[in-house]
Amino acid sequence: MAEIIDGKKIATEIKDELKIEIEGLKRSGITPGLATILVGENPASQVYVRNKTSACQNIGIYSEQHTLSSKIKEGELLELINELNKKPNIDGILVQLPLPSGIEEKKVLSAISPDKDVDGFHYHNVGRFFCEKSYSEMKREELFLPCTPFGIMEMLLRSQVKIEGSEAVVLGRSNIVGKPIAMLLLSANATVTICHSKTSNLKGVTSRADILVAAIGIPCFVKKDMVKQGAVVIDVGINRMNEGIVGDVDFAPVNEVCRAITPVPGGVGPMTITMLLVNTTTSAKRRLKMKNEKLSTIFNF
Ligand code: NDP
């Protein structure tokens, strides 16, 4: 049986570290603040936003939720984002995706100030992390990395999975998971292959993987015979079925061949929310730094 990589436990460790940082920020007069925007009544989105809000409350981050009708005009949404961009007590702005039809996602995401883009989806922030050489530099620079891929990297590293020199295969090429996790694995010196719906001989490619990341959105798609003996399998998928939520990996049979695996639920999901808290705290730390720099200019110390 494989080792279960416990996302909930790792997320708790990170949140405990964050609580200490947030207490320090508060002592310096800064409370990290996150604004979430939910447009429409998508039930899954409502759950995600509720979970994000309560995760903030649990560790001392101020949060405010803006719930808008699905009939709202794109211009009104852009206006709200603009207001939040200017609000000094808001360090992060999150627009829950997907947006209703008629609202252009790219336009909305690029309206968020790159300095408050805690989801890491703004072109500016995507460009920054694509240009950075190594994962450790990205961490040192405290870039806003997209939350799900960032969470996967932290899970791997905190579980002592060797990334450097490994062969990594990513199933899926979306902008929010597939492409960025491939880039992050590359920046940590893995040799990376990205697969998609047009990949031929998929099984031949996935069975080479030392690290296999599945992010395609098809329940139990990854079968035992697609996985190399001793691989580490990261299941990003969230598929709502009658029996509950299942991942993209056929968990029980794959568990027999791999060395380590993330469960669904309790794997990547809790890490994604936690990395949002990390990015929001990072943004608040930048605010404190700017405040201190301003004071030092005024008082010339
Ligand atoms: P998308 O639908 O945007 O992308 C799916 C990708 O899978 C596409 O690149 C697609 O290829 C590829 N794909 C589809 N079918 C196949 C196939 N038969 N063989 C190979 N590749 C295929 O999904 P997301 O990246 O947004 O999400 C993926 C999953 O991860 C979903 O279940 C989602 O709910 C979940 N998710 C979970 C998160 C978490 O926090 N745990 C966060 C975000 C997402 P092509 O490009 O050719 O169409």
Q: Which residues contact 157 (CB under 8 A, 6 or more apart)?
A: 163
| pLDDT at 41 (0 to 100) | 94
Task: Read off the CATH number of the domain in which 257 is found.
Answer: 3.40.50.720
pLDDT, tens digit, 9 for 90 and up, residues 276-293:
999 999 999 999 999 998
Question: What is the arithmetic mean of pLDDT over 31-47?
Answer: 96
Q: How sure is the predictor about 248, in pLDDT bands with cuts at 50, 70 and 90? A: very high
Find the domain containing 161 and state its range: 146-269
Question: What is the arithmetic mean of pLDDT over 68-84?
Answer: 97
Q: Is the pLDDT of residue 178 over 80?
A: yes
Do 97 and 154 fall within a single domain? Answer: no
* Residue 195: strand pairing partners: 171
Say if residues 169 and 299 touch (Cβ distance below 8 Å).
Answer: no
| pLDDT at 296 (0 to 100) | 83
Residue 58 lies in a domain: yes
Retrieve residue 99's tokens.
Answer: 């947006």
Q: How far is the CA of 248 from the centre of ligand 1 (A)?
A: 9
| pLDDT at 294 (0 to 100) | 85
* Residue 193: strand pairing partners: 169
35 lines ligand 1 (CB under 6 A): no
Question: What is the arithmetic mean of pLDDT over 37-43?
Answer: 95
Q: Specify the pairing of strand 167-171 against strand 191-195.
A: parallel
Alpha-carbon distance of 41 to 49, in angstroms, equals 11
pLDDT, tens digit, 9 for 90 and up, residues 125-145:
999 999 988 999 999 999 999
Query: How many independent structural domains does the chain possess?
Result: 2
Alpha-carbon distance of 166 to 130, in angstroms, equals 20
Catalytic: which of 15, 52, 228, 285? 52
Catalytic: which of 91, 115, 119, 235? 119
Q: How sure is the predictor about 299, in pLDDT bands with cuts at 50, 70 and 90? A: confident
Phi, psi of 290 (to 5 degrees): -65, -40
Do 207 and 258 fall within a single domain? Answer: yes
Instruction: Indicate left, alpha or beta for 272 from its phi (over 0: left) and psi (-120 to 50: alpha).
Output: alpha
Question: What is the arithmetic mean of pLDDT over 188-211?
Answer: 98
Catalytic: which of 15, 91, 96, 248? 96
Residue 109: closest CA among 176, 45, 44, 154: 176
Instruction: Indicate left, alpha or beta for 17 from its phi (over 0: left) and psi (-120 to 50: alpha).
Output: alpha
Distance set, CA 56 to CA 12, 236, 249 (Å):
13, 22, 30
- Radius of gyration in angstroms for the set of CA atoms belonging to the chain, rounded to a whole number: 20
Retrieve residue 107's tokens.
Answer: 């336009």
Residue 174 lies in a domain: yes
Q: Is the pLDDT of residue 301 over 70?
A: no
197 lines ligand 1 (CB under 6 A): yes
Do 265 and 152 fall within a single domain? Answer: yes
Do 235 and 183 fall within a single domain? Answer: yes
Q: Which atom of ligand 1 has the smallest separation from the CA of 217?
A: 32
Task: Read off the CATH number of the domain in which 56 is found.
Answer: 3.40.50.10860
Mean residue pLDDT of the chain comes to 96
Do 103 and 157 fall within a single domain? Answer: no
pLDDT, tens digit, 9 for 90 and up, residues 5-28:
999 999 999 999 999 999 999 999
Question: pTM for the complete prediction?
Answer: 0.97
| pLDDT at 1 (0 to 100) | 87
pLDDT-above-90 percentage for the chain: 95
Choice from 155, 177, 234, 273 to test ligand 1 binding pocket (greatest atom count within 8 A of CB): 177
Residue 75 lies in a domain: yes
265 lines ligand 1 (CB under 6 A): no
* Residue 36: strand pairing partners: 65, 94
Question: Which of the listed residues 113, 137, 168 is the one where a domain comes to its end?
Answer: 113
Residue 203 lies in a domain: yes
Say if residues 34 and 56 touch (Cβ distance below 8 Å).
Answer: yes
